Structure 1
Amino acid sequence: MKKLLLLLVLVLSVGVIAACGNTEKSSSSSEDKKEIKIGATAGPYSDMVSKAIKPLLEKKGYKVEVVEFSDYIQPNKALGNGDIDANLFQHKIYMENFAKENNLELSELVVVPTAPMGVYSNKYSSLDEVAEGSTISLPNDPVNLARALGVLEDAGLITLDPDVNPLTVSEKDVKDNSKNLKLQPIEAGQLPRSVDSVDLAAVPGNFALAAKMDLLDALVLEDMPDDYRNRVVVNTKDLDATFAKDIKEVVESAEFEATMDEQFKGFGKPAWMANR
């Protein structure tokens, strides 16, 4: 009986030691995570991950899988449930609203260069040529509409109510329209096609690039507030994870900026990059 009790104690001791070892190993493997998945919408931002972020992370020893999405819902859902570790496709306002509405804890890691909205025309070669009563198509969703109106104001074509938040401004806030431009809000995805049928079109950068438009063909490009620039986003609990810090480090590197300058011409740089 004594031998049996001694044997049982030894077995239990080994089990406890093994469990502790497994716990330490699990904690260590979480800290030393070297395989990561980064989600992005198909197009320029999945290209940015593949061409400018992934190679630099691989130099640090990571194995990186780029997961492409075709909508703006699934990248955050996949992040929240742990299917991916980070994503790149959204600006701050969208991220905060989505997180609130879906009970997610999301945080931005770093703001990246972003394709700006531009005013395009097949009729005019400069804004100085814009005639009285010209028609301009604009995005009909509130966020992009506010951006488009800001571009027109910066270009001197309209004046907006200075007391209104520039992030939520709409057509009713136009105080001066000296050329009597006809503002024609339409679905954002239709804006590239509308260039052929209207005098001017304010086209968000991602839709312009999807339609194979050259950002540098715009009569004017948006001086985009950083709140509208896309960012790498992670679950808030991972903000201090090593992989998150390494993603931030490679995006802030000179090598990343050089790739952006070479392969993503026309993308507007965030303040931290433009001012360094």
Structure 2
Amino acid sequence: MKKIASLLSVCALALGLTACGSDNASTKTEDKKELKIGATTGPYADMVNEAIKPGLEDLGYKVEIVEFTDYIQPNKALGNDSIDANLFQHKVYMENFAKENKLKLSDLIVVPTAPMGIYSSKYKSLKEIKDGASLALPNDPVNLARALKVLADEKLIEVDPDVDPLKISEKDVTKNPENIQLKPLESAQLPRATESVDLSAVPGNFALAAKMKLEDALVLENMPDLYRNVVAVNTKDVDAQFAKDIKEVVKSAEFEKVIDRKFIGFGKPEWMK
């Protein structure tokens, strides 16, 4: 009987320790006051530093910004808990990346985003475009669809109305009255391409990285929220207090003031309009 009692006591102690450990684990995230937020070098690292970090610090957080120069490592770092959140991608990219890499990531909130623009060193207006003008545009499916939608919105081309606007490709172009010559290129090459083609459709982040001004574009896209950047977190942290506080800061009046003052040309998401 003594042996049984001793065994039961050990088991109870073990269960108690496990329960305590579980409680500590559950409160660890809730009590987190030191955050690491990843962002790509450039405007989105600046957005975290100038528009998000100050608000979090006012709420008692210590914030470290971790900068990345590619679109792979920010999600890898988030997935292995090296960082707590990141800002550099739209929801479509995040979901595809998470699926391909077996990660559980969630979008927390949509933020103002630099839109794609059509730039030219030859024309000052889309009305000046001549027959056979050459236009460089992204060669990846997502950004290609965005560029073609801009052209369609500006009545430069027509596309099959039965095709999802988010998935249109060159084969879906039904009319091209100006005989615009489409030249797909890697997005990173598009800013430089403005010197060798008549027009270039450049995603906002690449334009800003090349020191191009959004307001210098002949036209900026009417970007759907699906393509605006999001603050992403691990799905397990969606309801954590730090995640709620990030949303609170992004929704604050002070955040919008910084955007209006320092991020001119960035398209605002629907919830800010």
TM-score tier (shorter):
over 0.9
RMSD: 2.2
- Inter-CA distance 17–211: structure 2 relative to 1 (3 Å threshold): same
User: Structure 2: which amino acid aligns with 1:233?
Assistant: A
Per the TM alignment, residue 264 of structure 1 is displaced from its structure 2 partner at its CA by 0.4
| Whole-angstrom distance in 1 between the partners of 2:12 and 2:265 | 64
% of aligned pairs identical? 67
The SS at the match of 2:266 is coil
Residue in structure 2 matched with residue 227 of structure 1 by the alignment: 226
| Whole-angstrom distance in 1 between the partners of 2:53 and 2:164 | 37
| Whole-angstrom distance in 1 between the partners of 2:165 and 2:178 | 22
Residue in structure 1 matched with residue 58 of structure 2 by the alignment: 59
Per the TM alignment, residue 119 of structure 1 is displaced from its structure 2 partner at its CA by 0.3
The SS at the match of 2:196 is coil
Residue in structure 2 matched with residue 199 of structure 1 by the alignment: 198
The SS at the match of 2:256 is helix
Residue in structure 1 matched with residue 147 of structure 2 by the alignment: 148
- Inter-CA distance 28–176: structure 2 relative to 1 (3 Å threshold): same
Residue in structure 1 matched with residue 32 of structure 2 by the alignment: 33
Instruction: Spell out, residue by residue over 1:62-118, the C-alpha distance to the aligned partner (whole angstroms, 9 max, x if none).
Output: 000111111111111111111011011111111111111111111100000000000
| Whole-angstrom distance in 2 between the partners of 1:30 and 1:56 | 19
| Whole-angstrom distance in 2 between the partners of 1:111 and 1:13 | 47
| Whole-angstrom distance in 2 between the partners of 1:86 and 1:203 | 27
Residue in structure 2 matched with residue 49 of structure 1 by the alignment: 48
User: Structure 1: which amino acid aligns with 2:52?
Assistant: I
- Inter-CA distance 16–149: structure 2 relative to 1 (3 Å threshold): closer
Q: Which structure 2 segments of 5+ residues have no match?
A: 1-10
| Whole-angstrom distance in 2 between the partners of 1:77 and 1:15 | 35
Per the TM alignment, residue 187 of structure 1 is displaced from its structure 2 partner at its CA by 1.2
Residue in structure 2 matched with residue 111 of structure 1 by the alignment: 110
Instruction: Spell out, residue by residue over 1:203-230, the C-alpha distance to the aligned partner (whole angstroms, 9 max, x if none).
Output: 0000000000000000000100111110
| Whole-angstrom distance in 2 between the partners of 1:102 and 1:27 | 26
Instruction: Spell out, residue by residue over 1:2-37, the C-alpha distance to the aligned partner (whole angstroms, 9 max, x if none).
Output: xxxxxxxxxx99999888767655543431110011
- Paired positions, count: 267
| Whole-angstrom distance in 1 between the partners of 2:41 and 2:94 | 18
| Whole-angstrom distance in 1 between the partners of 2:163 and 2:20 | 59
TM-score (norm 1): 0.91
| Whole-angstrom distance in 2 between the partners of 1:25 and 1:84 | 20
| Whole-angstrom distance in 2 between the partners of 1:165 and 1:182 | 23
Residue in structure 1 matched with residue 3 of structure 2 by the alignment: none
| Whole-angstrom distance in 1 between the partners of 2:110 and 2:189 | 27
| Whole-angstrom distance in 1 between the partners of 2:13 and 2:169 | 69
- Inter-CA distance 106–17: structure 2 relative to 1 (3 Å threshold): closer
User: Structure 1: which amino acid aligns with 2:250?
Assistant: V
| Whole-angstrom distance in 2 between the partners of 1:179 and 1:17 | 75
Q: Which structure 1 segments of 5+ residues have no match?
A: 1-11
Matches of residues 184-195 of structure 1 in structure 2 within 5 Å? Answer: 184-195=183-194
Per the TM alignment, residue 244 of structure 1 is displaced from its structure 2 partner at its CA by 0.2
Instruction: Spell out, residue by residue over 1:159-198, the C-alpha distance to the aligned partner (whole angstroms, 9 max, x if none).
Output: 1111111111111110111111111111111110111111
| Whole-angstrom distance in 2 between the partners of 1:216 and 1:263 | 13
The SS at the match of 1:172 is helix
User: Structure 2: which amino acid aligns with 1:164?
Assistant: V
The SS at the match of 1:202 is strand
| Whole-angstrom distance in 1 between the partners of 2:22 and 2:104 | 26
TM-score (norm 2): 0.92
The SS at the match of 1:157 is coil
| Whole-angstrom distance in 1 between the partners of 2:236 and 2:14 | 31
Residue in structure 2 matched with residue 257 of structure 1 by the alignment: 256
